[in-house]
Amino acid sequence: MTDAARISWTKALVVSGLVMYIPANLLPVMTITITGDIEALTVLGGVQELLHSGLPLVAGIVFLASFVIPFLKLAVMCWLLMLHGSTRLCAERAAALRILHQIGTWSMIDIFLLSVLAAVGQLGMLASVRPEPGVLFFAGVLLFTLFAADMYKPQMIWRPVVA
Amino acid sequence: MSSNSPNKEVVDGEVVSSRRARISWAWLFPILALGATGWLFLNNWLSQGPEVTIRFQEAPGIQPGKTDLIYRGVQAGKVMDAHLDRDLGAVVLRVRLKAFARELAREGTDFWIEQPIISLREISGIESIIQGNSIHARIGEGTKVQTEFVGLGAAPLVPLDAPSLVVKLRAAAVPFLGRSTPVFHRGVRVGWVRDKQLDESGDAVAEVVIEEKYTGVLHANSRFWVLPATSLSAGPGSVSLSIPGVEALLYGAVAFDHFGSPTGSVENGQEFALSPDEASARATGAQFQIVFDDAAGLRAGMTRICFRGKPVGVVDSIAVPPVGESVVVTARLEAPFASIATDGSTFTIVRPSITPEGITGLETVVTGAYIDFEPGPAGSVGTKFLGKSVRPLDWNLAEELPGAVRYRLVANSVPALQAGAPVFFRGLQAGHVVSKQPGDEEGAELWISIRKEFQKFVRSDSRFWHVPAASVQAGPGVLDFRFEGIASLWQGGIGFESFGNSTEPVASGEVFALHASRKLAAAVSPAVKISFLDGQGFLAGQTELRYLGLPAGVVEAVRTFPDRVEVTARFYEGFDFLRRDGSEFAVVRPQISIQSVSGLETLVSGVFIVCVPGKGEGYASEFQAIDTSMPELLDQTGFEILLLASSTAIDAGAPVLYNDTQVGEVVEKTLTQDGAQILLRAKIREEFRHLVRESSVFWDATAIDAKVGFFKVQINAPSVVAPAGRVEFFTPEMDSPGVGAGSRFSLLQQRPKSFRRR
């Protein structure tokens, strides 16, 4: 695959991720039912809920991991694509890509946790956790970012663009 | 990339990549993502229906963004926003309906907040305990679209479709009824009370909903009544406690029925009267009035009117006019009976009455007084009647069976006999006393009614007597206490029997004498008069005449003259021979002396007269009683001989022995005509008669036969117990001629020496 094709793929995947990022945050990702109290939570709603429950640290972590970092990843990918072919900040870009790869290893942890929660948290009438359509979009965002980061190779930063 | 290198080497020029112009397949992904997102938002937007605003007085437990709108159990919308209106007078909820629930946003739809109601009458909204309160909706009838609603304050009783038939019940008071009180028709729950309130006229009005499938059972002539929560009813033979059902146990219920054939249909909103109880509901006849002197025990709405014991009507109201001395009772009868309440019908208040003559209206002790209704002759239906407060003592007359015949009894007095007293024939009740009234002359007159099957026993010679409530009968060896059944225990009764052989039937209305007792009634012979020196213990109607220890007659009357007592007696059938010339009579009284204890039974039975039949051919009507210390020996039968002695201690009752065997008894001790000698009359039993012969020698054997011998004193005392002394005799020559009755012998002072004891 040529560099140009890779760039094209990366761009498409990043755009897809950005598109998916909107419903992923607008739609509820899960429904928690506790003693009849049905609560459909979006990602930010969940953060708010945690904050109200007096868990600011956990809320902060969830906020970073589920909201900020996916967005940052997409933003970094956009930055990389924008500076593609330029000779500026090559070292920084390579470092950023390396960090993206490393973070990417953990990116599906939210989805993993939710699936565990949905499987374990079935207490009949008293409590239940059910995934909502938003989580599909959320997983989509993560997957697209993951593949986009993988598609954009570090050497492409340094290689001059064949015009 | 690898393919580019050889090209570069061969052709060094501008390379136009044909692929540059082509769009990468990768762009399919963003398109798909966009499509999915777009489809999602579109779908979301399409599923949204119109937004409605609902105003509530209060909205407990409503949370914006969470509380659902439920229609038929399905989530049909969500509360988006809740805020108070400008003047803080109501809560305004904005509810976003779902697209499929779009039709809810139309005129007439009811919204209410479902919250748990747990009361004795109903339990509803249980699910809201767990899920939190929610808004429920019931679709309305209207067609116009509406988005502004006013919510209901409470959940309606019919959560879904509106009820098809609502009627109103009007009553002076509806104490038991309330929301969701069940309505029964013949034991089936067919509806419930929706609401109760007061209308403009101040009457209580209950709105009753009839379930749609049961609307056919309500008719224009149906009558509603209140079923009390529990009712205790007592009637003849049973006391029953009735509970219509568990749900009605606490708050009662309403029942309705159309008595008879159903007529007419019912429209929505039709009004019915609510009766306080079933009997009142049943009495559908026109109201009429009864005027009583006294209304004690009557209660409006409670007192029943009974026809032949069955309640057929009810007293509606009791009015006491301030002037006059009457009470006006307004009453109604059931329809079939209203038509027989013609002019001349009688209405009688029945209250409990317990007297020695009888018990009437005992059931009213439990049920309260009731009014007995007796229809009058055919005619026009009356509207005003004159009622009776006192019921005549005719409680047994109603039992008079067809074919019964009445007779008249005349008596000097009829103690404690009242109408209804039983008439017995050989212990069976053959009829009863119908009435009691003063006779033509002095005395009283009784009318009795004899049942058909006993009529053949009433003959021309039948005798009637008064049966006492209880009687004690004592005779020799007999003590008998008896009473003739519980009915006669109160007042006794009348017995009758035929003592003769007549089979002559008797026509109705025949007059009989009523005797004071059965003994008197049974004594059918002509009367005899017996004079006594002493009348102690004689009791007319009680004192008996006995022959051989058995009753032979009874003293009918005792009259006292200056020097004697004259007893009028009659004999029972078959004892006529006691009236013959020469019959002897003596009175037996209890005697306790050193010599003997006798007449002991007279302690209980009273004195009696012992009779000895005479030998004469004809019958006499007057007798002189004889005076004897041992009168009970008079009627000893046997071969009579007379013993003459100059002096003797032997008295009546002394045994007559032959060879140490008693063969007879001295029955009387008198003097001879000139008084010079003692005359002992002895009776020898028939089977020993042959022992008495001309050669017989009689001696006084009272003295103890003591002999002083050489070594011993021999006391020859066969029987020490002979207080009256003993007479012995011996006949040495058994071939000497026999003697006739009444032969005289002389009584020796002691055993002749010639008759040695063997």
Answer whether B37 touches A (CB < 8 Å): yes
Q: From the candidates A7, A19, A138, A142, which should be mutated to test the interface with B, based on the most B CB atoms within 10 A?
A: A19
| pLDDT class of A78 with cuts at 50, 70, 90 | very high
- For residues B49 and B280, give the distance between their C-alpha atoms in angstroms, rounded to a whole number: 56
Number of Cβ within 10 Å of residue A72's Cβ equals 15
Number of Cβ within 10 Å of residue B720's Cβ equals 8
- For residues A31 and A52, give the distance between their C-alpha atoms in angstroms, rounded to a whole number: 17
- For residues A162 and B248, give the distance between their C-alpha atoms in angstroms, rounded to a whole number: 94
Residues of chain B with Cβ-Cβ distance to A38 below 8 Å are 66, 131
Taking CA–CA distances from A22, the nearest residue in chain B reads B37
A144–B41 C-beta distance less than 8 A: no
Give pLDDT tens digits for B577-632: 888 887 888 887 776 665 556 666 666 667 788 887 777 788 888 888 776 656 65
Residues of chain A with Cβ-Cβ distance to B66 below 8 Å are 37-39
Give pLDDT tens digits for B580-592: 887 888 887 776 6
Give pLDDT tens digits for B411-429: 776 666 666 777 878 777 7
Average pLDDT, chain A: 85
Number of Cβ within 10 Å of residue B571's Cβ equals 24
pLDDT value at residue B118: 67
Taking residues B181-209, report their average pLDDT: 81
Closest alpha carbon to B529 in B574, B551, B573, B561:
B561
- For residues B235 and B233, give the distance between their C-alpha atoms in angstroms, rounded to a whole number: 7
Taking residues B85-111, report their average pLDDT: 86
Contact B222, B186 (CB under 8 A): no
Residue B356, pLDDT above cutoff 60: no
Answer whether A155 touches B (CB < 8 Å): no
Taking CA–CA distances from A24, the nearest residue in chain B reads B37
| pLDDT class of B746 with cuts at 50, 70, 90 | confident
Q: State the Cα angle at B134 between B129 and B136, rounded to 5°.
A: 125
Cα-Cα end-to-end distance for chain B? 183
B41–A19 C-beta distance less than 8 A: no
Tally helices (H) and strands (E) across chain A: 8, 3
Sheet with strand A30-34: strands edge to edge: A37-41, A30-34, A127-131
Answer whether A139 touches B (CB < 8 Å): no
pLDDT value at residue B485: 53
E strand residue ranges, A7-114: 30-34, 37-41
Taking residues B511-537, report their average pLDDT: 80
**Which candidate from A12, A35, A137 shows the least CB-CB separation from B24?**
A12
Show which of residues 24-63 on chain A sit within 8 Å of chain B, judged by CB atoms: 27, 35-39
Q: State the Cα angle at B527 between B585 and B539, rounded to 5°.
A: 65
**Which candidate from A8, A17, A39 shows the least CB-CB separation from B24?**
A8
Residue A24, pLDDT above cutoff 50: yes
Residues of chain B with Cβ-Cβ distance to A17 below 8 Å are 33
pLDDT value at residue B124: 65
Q: From the candidates B24, B28, B43, B44, which should be mutated to test the interface with A, based on the most A CB atoms within 10 A?
A: B24
Answer whether B41 touches A (CB < 8 Å): yes
pLDDT value at residue B234: 55
A39–B41 C-beta distance less than 8 A: no
Taking residues B536-544, report their average pLDDT: 78
Residue B269, pLDDT above cutoff 70: yes
pLDDT exceeding 70 applies to what percent of chain B? Answer: 74
Answer whether B40 touches A (CB < 8 Å): yes
Give pLDDT tens digits for B20-46: 546 777 788 889 889 988 988 898 888
Taking residues A102-119, report their average pLDDT: 85
Query: SS3 of A160, please?
Result: coil
Show which of residues 44-103 on chain B sit within 8 Å of chain A, judged by CB atoms: 66
Query: DSSP assignment, residue B468?
Result: P
Taking CA–CA distances from B61, the nearest residue in chain A reads A37
**Which candidate from A16, A20, A37 shows the least CB-CB separation from B132?**
A37
B66–A8 C-beta distance less than 8 A: no
- For residues B346 and B394, give the distance between their C-alpha atoms in angstroms, rounded to a whole number: 15
| pLDDT class of B392 with cuts at 50, 70, 90 | very low
Contact B581, B621 (CB under 8 A): no
CA distances for B712 relative to B387, B707, B715, angstroms:
104, 8, 10
What is this structure's pTM? 0.42
CA distances for B371 relative to A145, B362, B382, B407, angstroms:
101, 14, 17, 33
Q: How close, in Å, is residue A122 to chain B by CA atoms? A: 17
Taking residues B639-653, report their average pLDDT: 82
Q: What is the ipTM of this complex?
A: 0.83
Give me the amino acid identity at B257.
D
**Which candidate from A12, A20, A23 shows the least CB-CB separation from B27?**
A12
Burial annotation A132-144 (CB, 10 A radius, 16+ → b, else e) = bbbbbbbbbbbbb
Which distant-in-sequence residues (6+ apart) come within 8 Å of B126 by Cβ? B116
**Which candidate from A2, A8, A27 shows the least CB-CB separation from B26?**
A8
B130–A125 C-beta distance less than 8 A: yes
Residues of chain B with Cβ-Cβ distance to A37 below 8 Å are 66, 131-132
B416 compared with A115, residue with greater pLDDT: A115
Number of Cβ within 10 Å of residue B730's Cβ equals 17
- The percent helix, strand, coil of chain A (3-state, each to 5) is 70, 10, 20
The enclosing H or E element of B384 equals: strand B384-386
Residues of chain B with Cβ-Cβ distance to A78 below 8 Å are none
- For residues B334 and A83, give the distance between their C-alpha atoms in angstroms, rounded to a whole number: 107
Residue B398, pLDDT above cutoff 50: no
Residue B154, pLDDT above cutoff 70: yes
Instruction: Choose the weakest-confidence range: A107-111, B1-5, B60-64, B450-454.
Output: B1-5
| pLDDT class of B354 with cuts at 50, 70, 90 | low
B526 compared with B132, residue with greater pLDDT: B526
Phi, psi of B512 (to 5 degrees): -125, 155
Give me the amino acid identity at B402.
P
* Tokens standing for residue B142: 């209207």
